[in-house]
Amino acid sequence: MKQRKLVVSASLLGLILWAGAAGAFVPERTSNGLPIVWNLTALGGAVPYLINRDRPTEAVCPLTNLPGSTVPDALGGSDAVTVLQNSFAHWLAAAIPTTVVDVSFGGTTGNDVFGTSDGSNVLLFIHCDPDLAGGVLALTINWYATATGLIQETDIAFNDDYDWRTDGSANPPDSYELAPVAIHEMGHFFGLDHSFIANVGGVFDPTIACTMYPYYFGLDAETLAPDDIAGITTLYPDVPAQTAAFGAIEGRVTSWPNLAMFGIHVVAITETGKVPTVSQPTSINGRYRIDGVPPGNYYVYIESPSVQSSFWTTFVGPYWTGVDKISQDMLYRHIKVPSAAALVDGNAIFNRATLVTVTAGTTRSEINFMVGGAAGTNKMLAFDFDSNSGGCGQLAGAAGPAGMDLALWLLPPALLLALRIRRYVNSRR
């Protein structure tokens, strides 16, 4: 058996708080903000792929100092080719009728080059790769055209520095299950980035965590969460089926009075259980639209931008670069979010909140949030968190007057200009 004595103990940073981030599905994007996706039409409706079943020679890796073995992994169950094919099935139209995505297996290959743009989409095992050093179980590399965002090629590498199992017997840190890791990587294969829906009330729950959550959490990742399904449906929708199965919530997040809030996560959590289900960020004009919401009753709340992790760099980052990123903080300084621990059943704060009922094929509109408004001046539509924020967390009523959209588009650059002027003035003092 390979020796894998990785210590996966609790962090020494015991003071750090899980902030209860919901973290919606996020498409991978180019530096210009284009989603990175396959052109299924050009591919005849299915993305081709190959599998290299060969396992690298097990030897001590000089880069990682991980000791090797000449004994192959005892997968214990199905062979890797079968497991990987079955893993793809979780994402496809046969399992998720609201999407049209499909793949075609082209057989096994001897191609053992990972990450190189060589025209083939290959799933393979690699060993001793410096890009996977230090706890990386698997990695997906997408090649795309920068002008269009269309994927040209994708490889998935499983790190054979670790022991793999296929029979449910994995026992981290000595061994890991192949299927849940593969299903996660296949989400990247189709263009999904990481999502952080993983908890209720600030406590990590593997039964809630979505498949695109980046940390290994075992077999529970094999079951796609609503957030994962919403993600793949959004990228590759079967529009009639999508309409028949899901509803949507849309609205706008503004600071008082009507300053667009850009890049704010708006999260729908279930009435029962308070499970974060689907969420989306606001666009540059403060508007958001959450598609792929299963019918039901939800509370809706906005989430602090301080816990949005990779979402920020993939979605907001392209628009707010360099020193101007400080302007995001200037925009968001008012935001105070409810305690993660408060987002649980039975908390009295929900008595003041308004339920949003979603039905299939319909859109609940104007679920608006206003941050920093005068207390008591706006109708409460969703989650009330003003008790924690001294009046800064008022929830919004109706949308602003017609014609405000143009002003909202212009406000961020105007704010940037104001900040630059302020910096200049400060520098002259």
Partner 1 sequence: MKPKYGGLLVLLVATGSALASTVIPLSLTTLARKAEVIVVGRCLASKVVWNADHSRIYTDWTVALEQTVKGAPGAKLVVRQLGGELDGKGMTAAGVVKLEAGEEVVLFLGPGQEQGVRRILGLSQGQFPVGTDPQTGQKLVQENPAKPGAGAAKSQAGNQPVPIPLDQFLAQVRQALEVKP
Query: For residues 191-250, which are near partner 1 according to CB under 8 A?
Result: 192-194, 196, 198-199, 202-204, 214-217
Q: What is the nearest approach in angstroms of partner 1 to the Cβ of residue 63?
A: 5
Rounded to 10°, the helix 178-189/226-235 angle is 30
264-293: contacts with partner 1 (CB under 8 A): none
Q: Which is nearer to partner 1, 406 or 428 (CB)?
A: 428
Binding mask 54-93 for partner 1 (x = CB under 8 A): ---------xx-----------------------------
Using CB under 8 A as the binding rule, whether residue 317 contacts partner 1 is answered as yes
Question: Per rule CB under 8 A, is residue 172 in the interface with partner 1?
Answer: yes
| Amino acid letter for position 258 | N
Position 420 contacts partner 1 (CB under 8 A): no
Q: Please, is 315 exposed, middle or buried when counting C-beta atoms within 10 Å of its C-beta (0-12, 13-18, 19+)?
A: buried
The answer to whether 304 contacts partner 1 (rule: CB under 8 A) is: yes
Residue 252 contacts partner 1 per CB under 8 A: no
The label of the residue with tokens 């980035």 reads 193
Strand 276-281 to 369-371 pairing:
unpaired
In three-state secondary structure terms, 428 is helix
DSSP secondary structure code for residue 289 in this structure: E
Those residues with Cβ within 8 angstroms of residue 374's Cβ, 6 or more apart along the chain or in another chain: 256, 391, 394
Q: Is position 6 an interface residue for partner 1 (rule: CB under 8 A)?
A: yes
Told to check if 23 binds partner 1 by CB under 8 A, we report yes
The residue from 57, 306, 362, 377 that contacts partner 1 (CB under 8 A) is 306
Neighbours of 340 (CB within 10 A): 21
Q: Which stretch binds partner 1 (CB under 8 A): 2-10, 41-49, 90-98, 352-360?
A: 2-10
Contact call for residue 138 and partner 1 (CB under 8 A): yes
Query: Tokens at residue 134, please?
Result: 């230090």
CA separation, residue 13 to residues 9, 16, 17 (Å)? 11, 6, 9
Which lies closer to partner 1 via its Cβ, residue 401 or residue 429? 429
Q: Is residue 145 close enough to count as binding partner 1 by CB under 8 A? A: yes
Among 184, 265, 287, 364, binds partner 1 (CB under 8 A): 184
Residue 369 found at the interface with partner 1 (CB under 8 A): no
The strand ranges marked E within 21-120 are 47-51, 103-108
Q: Verify binding: residue 347, partner 1, rule CB under 8 A.
A: no
Count of all residues that appear for the chain in the document = 429
255 in Cβ contact with 370 (< 8 Å)? yes
422 binds partner 1 (CB under 8 A): no
